[in-house]
Amino acid sequence: MAQISIDDLDEVELMLTELEISKGKGNLVICVVASPAYRSKIIQLIQDRFSTKITQIEDGDTLIYDLKGKKLEGVDVSLWIFPESLPNDIIEALNNFREFFYQAGIPSIVFLSPSALHQAISLAPDFWRYRGGFHVLKGDETGKAYQAVEALSTPLSMSYQSKEELLRRKRINEYLLEKIKDKKDMSNSLSELGSIHLLLAEPRKAIEYYEQALKISREIGDRRGEGSDLGNLGSAYSHLGEPRKAIQYYEQALKISREIGDRRGEGNHLGNLGLAYSDLGEPRKAIQYYEQALKISREIGDRRGEGNRLGKLGIAFYGLSRRQEAIKSMEDAVKIFEQIESPNLISAKKTLAKWKEAETPK
Amino acid sequence: MPRAENLKDAYNNLYVEPLKKAQEFKEFYVERPDSASSPIGELKDRIEISNRKEKYLFLGFRGSGKSTELNRLEAALDEDRFLIVNYSIREDLNMSDFDFKEFFVSMALKIYDMARSESIPIQQDIEKDFQEFIKRVTKVTEEEFTSITSGGISWSQIILLKINREAKTREYLRTELDLKISDLILRLNWLILDIEDKSGKQIVVIVDDLDKLTRGQQSEDFFYKNYGLLVQPDCFIVYTFPIPLAFHPSYESVRQAFNWDVVLLQIPVKDRQGNEDPEGIEFYRQVVLRRMNQDLLEDKILEKAIVSTGKLSEFVEIMRDSSLNAFRMRRKQIIEDDVEIALDKLRTMYDRTLTEAHKKKLLEIHSCHEARDEGPDSTIIRELLFSLSAVEYKDREGRWCEIDPLLMPLAEKWRKSQ
């Protein structure tokens, strides 16, 4: 689950709706986001719903060449990542060739930084005029990141979410709780209320609901539900800044996923344990968990998980000054990110370059 | 594209590209009101009756419908009397590194290509001389030339591609033509003369998108320093011209070198006193109603969007955003809230983008309805016109300037902070 700011839920959903309704047609949608890390999260959300192609643009000629390129087969949305500040050749290419975004046959999202957007408005007015929607995201600059609910990555016809609807769903769940007779439904409803409160930055309230859900899951012997509730409790304590408590819950969740043979869940809980130990300042322990999680990712063919865990391992190694291992892990992560066109590629490459530069004798 | 009957189709129909095909004109073209009528009829008449090979400047704000009107001109001219070369400089030239020398080479090659595609035989010596001259100034060798012509692509297309893609070819061409530009124009005029003679028709060149030269300096160099050359080709030419440059003190000398300057202004939705203009509003209404069913719109919301934008492209953009907002809320109709949200979003964005100097100048325009830079070195007005934060309108009483109607609600706030 990607983490996006609660303030951006409406705007992100509007953008996803726009992509949905222009599917199979050219369109030029602008997404303004300040930090590359946050942009990666948004990309991940888009990738949960659409197949994508990501193109990183460094100069105007490449942009024109790529825009004029052949139609992409099996791709729903084309994602274009631009430098933080736009050089003249890119500005002019955007301004003069904006119609190619419409001729591509699939919608494009152009990711711009706020300053690049200002440049586009004043210096590339034709590009600005002939766009589809523009979506300015606030990001997680306040340091508060929230879990985006699954609804954001489910098909539009199934469900979607906005801040307003989140509050409505909260009221509905509260109302239904009084009516529901079925215990399993009750547990689900409580669990959803927990997630809503987590989204609303109320982790303590979230914990209350998750605990109630857990109690019911145990009563009715729903092991999978129990594991999920324990994992949710771990996340909520992690949000509260209590990694030790988070670890207790993740460990219980891990035990259950092993008992019921849920390999993906097992991998996730191991990865979360790694993160929690990293938060605790215990990188060696974090490494042990990341390695176990990595092994599972490889066994079940989860390439995204494999890449992410290699990246995390690299960072942990580097923190321990085990630089060669760090570089090796990050190189492996980069290879996978390249193969799966992961949005994490750019930041992984940058980190790797920085590490390698530090290794080069001056 | 048929008129939209649901919001999803409405969203997809509300992308405005210049109209080109007869079918598109039939479905979407809306006649401009009499008070700001299209100048194309008059331009056509001038071309048809003039004994001289006139040169025209065609001015208009971006998004005001210039390309559509120029396509109408092409369709309106009698094809038994005229050979039309209607092209956009964006197709072949490198807009980020653009010089009048490549411009004339491209015009010559476009005319040459037109003759080839119309099967008009060019006199052998003229053709050979032209080819050799172009090869020399672009440094295309005989071997390259032979391999190109045997490859199935016309040599003129390859030369344009080389000029567009290769900085070194542009550099070489500029050095070569530095003292030989009159040689190029001479050969261009030979071509024109021969083609007109063989076909018994007159050539009309329509150069679109010259107003898209984004860097102020680039377009100033092109038009202010070289306007003497732009009138030398011996055929009818319509040049699109960046309207912000018309607000420059040098414009008067440029204008006088041409036979006529045609202006396609935004259609006003209010007069200069602020009273609504029913003709203008109806024009904008029809633009959207040709693209979507009226049932998809709550009463009066079109009018709200029209008076809040007052510019064709921005109005369509707001309606497009509003249809997305409504679709997302699972509505069957666009309601006032959807339009308000779209307007607010765009307004907030502009408020953030404009500098204090821009805002001060906009307040001046709002109070005196005039837009002039204080001197040749001042660029604020041109920037505002370029970004369409300031707009020039025309009605029966003449022309006047006003700030983008979208920004009106912000004017009071700016005034207080001055």
Residues of B in contact with A14 (CB under 8 A): 324-325, 328
- Can you list the domains of chain B with their CATH numbers? 1-19+268-418 (1.10.8.60), 38-264 (3.40.50)
Query: Would you call A125 and B349 a contact, using CB atoms and an 8 Å cutoff?
Result: no
Residue scoring higher pLDDT (B152 or B269): B269
Compute the C-alpha angle B387/B389/B394, nearest 5°: 105
Query: Would you call A17 and B324 a contact, using CB atoms and an 8 Å cutoff?
Result: yes
Radius of gyration of chain B (CA): 24
The reported pLDDT for the residue numbered B398 is: 77
Residues of chain B in Cβ contact (below 8 Å) with chain A: 8, 11-12, 15-17, 62-63, 90, 95-96, 165, 209, 212, 214-215, 313-314, 317, 320-321, 324-325, 327-328, 345, 349-350, 352-353, 383, 386-388
The whole-number mean pLDDT for each consecutive block of 10 residues of chain A, a chain of 362 residues, reads 68 91 89 84 86 89 79 85 88 84 90 89 84 85 32 28 66 76 83 82 87 95 92 86 91 95 90 87 91 94 89 89 93 91 80 87 68
Query: Would you call B349 and A99 a contact, using CB atoms and an 8 Å cutoff?
Result: no
Nearest chain B Cα distance for residue A14, angstroms:
7
The reported pLDDT for the residue numbered A336 is: 93
Query: Would you call B353 and A121 a contact, using CB atoms and an 8 Å cutoff?
Result: yes
Residue ranges per structural domain of chain A: 6-142, 154-239, 262-362
The reported pLDDT for the residue numbered A161 is: 46
Q: Determine phi and psi for B96, rounding to 5 degrees.
A: -85, -15
Spatial distance between the Cα atoms of B8 and A25, rounded to a whole number of angstroms: 12
Query: Would you call B212 and A95 a contact, using CB atoms and an 8 Å cutoff?
Result: yes
Q: What is the mean pLDDT of residues B343-349?
A: 91
Residue at token pair 């063989």: B198
Spatial distance between the Cα atoms of A93 and A82, rounded to a whole number of angstroms: 12
Amino acid at B382: R
| Under 8 Å between Cβ of A103 and A73 | no
Spatial distance between the Cα atoms of B378 and B286, rounded to a whole number of angstroms: 39
Is the predicted ipTM greater than 0.90, yes or no?
no
Spatial distance between the Cα atoms of A247 and A270, rounded to a whole number of angstroms: 10
Instruction: Identify the closest residue of chain A to B209 by CA–CA distance.
Output: A96
The reported pLDDT for the residue numbered A345 is: 85
If you count residue pairs, one on A and one on B, with CB atoms under 8 Å apart, how many are there? 79
Query: Would you call A121 and B349 a contact, using CB atoms and an 8 Å cutoff?
Result: yes
A154-239 matches A6-142 in CATH topology: no
Query: Would you call A21 and B327 a contact, using CB atoms and an 8 Å cutoff?
Result: yes
Chain B interface disruption, residue of A10, A102, A121, most B CBs within 10 A: A121
- What share of chain B in percent tops pLDDT 70? 96
Spatial distance between the Cα atoms of A187 and B397, rounded to a whole number of angstroms: 72
Spatial distance between the Cα atoms of B173 and B191, rounded to a whole number of angstroms: 20
For the cut 80, the answer to whether the pLDDT of residue B26 exceeds it is yes
Spatial distance between the Cα atoms of B301 and B297, rounded to a whole number of angstroms: 7
Query: Would you call B95 and A88 a contact, using CB atoms and an 8 Å cutoff?
Result: no
The reported pLDDT for the residue numbered B308 is: 94
| Under 8 Å between Cβ of A11 and B321 | no
Nearest to A14 among B317, B328, B350 (CB): B328
Instruction: Identify the closest residue of chain B to A128 by CA–CA distance.
Output: B387
Nearest to B95 among A92, A99, A123 (CB): A92
Query: Would you call A123 and B214 a contact, using CB atoms and an 8 Å cutoff?
Result: yes
A6-142 to CATH, choices 3.40.50.1100, 3.40.250.10, 3.40.50.300, 3.80.10.10: 3.40.50.300
For the cut 90, the answer to whether the pLDDT of residue B231 exceeds it is yes
Residues of B in contact with A93 (CB under 8 A): 96
Compute the C-alpha angle A351/A354/A355, nearest 5°: 85
For the cut 90, the answer to whether the pLDDT of residue B94 exceeds it is no
Residue A28: strand, helix, or coil: strand
Nearest chain B Cα distance for residue A122, angstroms:
6
Cα torsion angle, B223, B226, B228, B232, sign? negative
Confidence of residue B268 (pLDDT cuts 50, 70, 90): confident
The reported pLDDT for the residue numbered B330 is: 87
Residue A350 burial class via C-beta count within 10 angstroms: exposed 0-12, middle 13-18, buried 19 and up? exposed
Name the DSSP letter for residue B223.
I
Domain covering A262-362, topology:
1.25.40
Spatial distance between the Cα atoms of B343 and B407, rounded to a whole number of angstroms: 10
Residues of B in contact with A99 (CB under 8 A): 17
Residues of B in contact with A16 (CB under 8 A): none
The reported pLDDT for the residue numbered B180 is: 80
The reported pLDDT for the residue numbered B303 is: 94
Task: Find the helix or strand (DSSP H, E) in which B33 lies.
Answer: none
CATH number 3.40.309.10 given to A154-239? no
What are the tens digits of pLDDT across the range B159-206?
Answer: 888 888 888 889 999 998 887 888 899 889 989 989 999 999 999 999
Spatial distance between the Cα atoms of A40 and A133, rounded to a whole number of angstroms: 20
Spatial distance between the Cα atoms of B84 and B76, rounded to a whole number of angstroms: 11
Residues of A in contact with B324 (CB under 8 A): 14, 17-18, 21, 133
Query: Would you call A17 and B11 a contact, using CB atoms and an 8 Å cutoff?
Result: no
Residues of A in contact with B387 (CB under 8 A): 121-122, 125
Mean pLDDT, chain B, rounded, equals 88
CA separation, residue B245 to residues A64, B67, B89, B200 (Å) = 27, 19, 18, 37
Instruction: Identify the closest residue of chain B to A88 by CA–CA distance.
Output: B96
The reported pLDDT for the residue numbered B225 is: 84
Query: Would you call B386 and A125 a contact, using CB atoms and an 8 Å cutoff?
Result: yes
Nearest to B11 among A21, A117, A121 (CB): A21
What are the tens digits of pLDDT across the range B353-378?
Answer: 888 888 989 999 998 888 776 666 66
CA separation, residue B330 to residues A39, B7, B45, B323, B327 (Å) = 28, 10, 51, 11, 5
Residue scoring higher pLDDT (A276 or B212): A276
What are the tens digits of pLDDT across the range A21-73?
Answer: 988 888 999 999 887 778 888 998 888 888 899 999 988 888 888 887 766 77
- What share of chain B in percent tops pLDDT 90? 44
The reported pLDDT for the residue numbered A156 is: 26
Helices (H), chain A: 9-21, 36-49, 60-68, 88-96, 99-103, 114-123, 125-129, 163-179, 183-199, 203-219, 223-239, 243-259, 263-279, 283-300, 303-319, 323-340, 345-359
